A = this chain, B = another copy of it.
Amino acid sequence: MTYKEKYDFLVSRLAEVVDLSRAAAVLAWDQQVNMPRGGMKARGDQLATLSSLAHARFTSPEIGELLQDLAAYERELPYESDEASLIRVARREYEKETKLPAKLVTELAKAANDGYAAWLQAREAKDYGVFRPALERIYRLMVEKAQALGYRERPLDAFVDESEPGMTIVDVEKLFSELKETLVPLVAAIRERLDRVDDSVVLKYYDKDAQWKIGLEAVRAIGFDLDARGRQDLSVHPFTTSFSPDDVRITTRLREREFTMGFFASLHEAGHGTYEQGLPKRLERTILCRGASGGLHESQSRLWENIVGRSHEFWEFFYPTMQRYFPEQTSGVSLDSFYAAVNRVQPSFIRTEADEVTYNLHIMIRTELEKAVFDGQLAIADLEQAWNDKYQEYLGIVPKDPVDGVLQDIHWSGGFGASFISYTIGNIVMVQLFEAACREIPNLKAGFAKGQFAPLLHWMNDHVHTHGAKFQPLELVRMATGAELSARPYLDYIVTKFSALYGL
């Protein structure tokens, strides 16, 4: 076989693996959106079979030989070509997946399964102690996993590299300490003047049908294709999944007395959705047909949720629609007041409901705790206390109940590593990308006030989405913005926006 033939053969074998994982995504979507509860057991078996077949086919010696044979071909090709990138990314993942002993994978899956059950029970009992043994088991297995995968300097690097390929925990720490320096005092300053912003308008009663409809209007307006290439449904936790760039599913949830929850969940997921719908035809059915990293994916969701959806310009465009749908609720509320209401800062316990300013502190707390455990400075047994201490330190509040504290996120029930970093990296990248777009497109932000979102979407299509998973996050940020990853632009954005809002 020629190199080209071998390459095509590799692509066709990997296409089957892609098909299997997309099929699994359909099953997982159905599980959260439609499945009657009786279906749980069978669905678990079906998903396990699909994932074990996908793993077996991906890690087969045949793939290993093809990758070896194609090493010379890869060196001949430009680094940024689709072909070289596919071989490079396939090799990276092949090496990772073949490093993990099957026994460890199975044990981790079991521990995650039991961990989820224990987490639910602990929440029910409002008792961290119920979850602790499961979490200790998960942590021990995660240490083993880090050893098996290998890492640059510290075990946590193995997990940082999983969600943000090419980055280390030191990179992350540097970003976080920069954020902390500005955000902690900013939050403290805002806490002194919380009552400058009144958000009672979004806490009135909002009919769910009308919420559903206005959410769809907003999603459509920013350019997520809800007709031929996507749809929105309801689920307990909002999420986005993709079965191909031409079939992307987003979900939302609605609460009658919290308009912002459903509306911004829709925009957030639609942001993820634009990434998936923006992946290029030429990469379809390849392993490169997905986002570059968790952080890059979050950069897109937060871009549309926050930079766009919580901008004054967006509401200049959309407030008339809001008034049309909800004339009573918005009666006597000015555009400026409404804009302020959807941007109200309020130190609170729940990460997923946090405002833009405090959000990163939630992430920082979790990441610092993970790091302390992996560095041997904190025992899993003491996690609850450490959690509460940090909330006191950074946000000035202490949860009374572990359900609002250490038990709030599902993440640790399935694995304990660098589980949250992508959210903050997403925030940082978001601003860098947005500013690069603003430099290239005159009056980009002003256009939002006229409902012109296509220029921003197309810029993201051309500078981010088109590359799929070809590049690592640091490479991609450099290519798209001409700069290194940096927290500075994000901090400037936050300080400017919220100083204005709170008169600081």
Interface residues of A, Cβ cutoff 8 Å to B: 15-16, 19-20, 22-24, 26-27, 30, 34-39, 41-43, 45-46, 48-50, 53, 225, 227-231, 233, 243-244, 246-247, 284-285
Contacts and interface: CB of A to CB of B under 8 A. Distances in A.
A247 B42 contact: yes
* Residue among A41, A43, A228 with the highest chain B CB neighbour number at 10 A: A43
Contacts of A41: 244, 246
Contacts of A37: 228
Contact of A26 (B16, B26, B225): B26
A41 B39 CA distance: 28
B284 A36 contact: no
Given A228-B38, A229-B36, A243 B46 contact: yes
Contact of A243 (B23, B43, B285): B43
Task: Across the A-B interface, give the 3 residue pairs with the lowest CB-CB distance, nearest first.
Answer: A39-B247, A42-B244, A38-B246
A212 B325 CA distance: 27
A452 to B, nearest CB: 24
Given A23-B23, A36-B246, 15 more contacts: A16-B49, A16-B53, A19-B48, A20-B49, A22-B46, A26-B46, A34-B233, A36-B228, A36-B229, A36-B231, A39-B246, A41-B246, A42-B246, A42-B247, A43-B247
Contacts of A27: 23, 26
Contacts of A16: 49, 53
Contacts of A24: 23
**Copies of this chain held together in the complex:** 2
Contacts of A22: 42, 46
A257 B48 CA distance: 46
A247 to B, nearest CB: 3
Given A39-B244, A39-B246, A229-B38, A45 B19 contact: yes
A20 to B, nearest CB: 7
17 contacts: A16-B49, A19-B45, A19-B50, A20-B49, A20-B50, A23-B23, A26-B30, A26-B46, A34-B233, A36-B228, A36-B230, A36-B231, A38-B229, A39-B243, A42-B244, A45-B285, A46-B243
Contacts of A15: 45, 49
Contacts of A38: 225, 228-230, 244, 246-247
A37 to B, nearest CB: 5
A41 B281 CA distance: 12
Contact of A34 (B20, B231, B244, B285): B231
Contact of A23 (B39, B46, B229): B46
A15 B50 CA distance: 12
A493 to B, nearest CB: 35
A465 to B, nearest CB: 16
Nearest to A249: B34
Contacts of A26: 26-27, 30, 46
Contacts of A50: 19-20, 23
A284 B34 contact: no
Contacts of A243: 39, 42-43, 46
Nearest to A227: B36
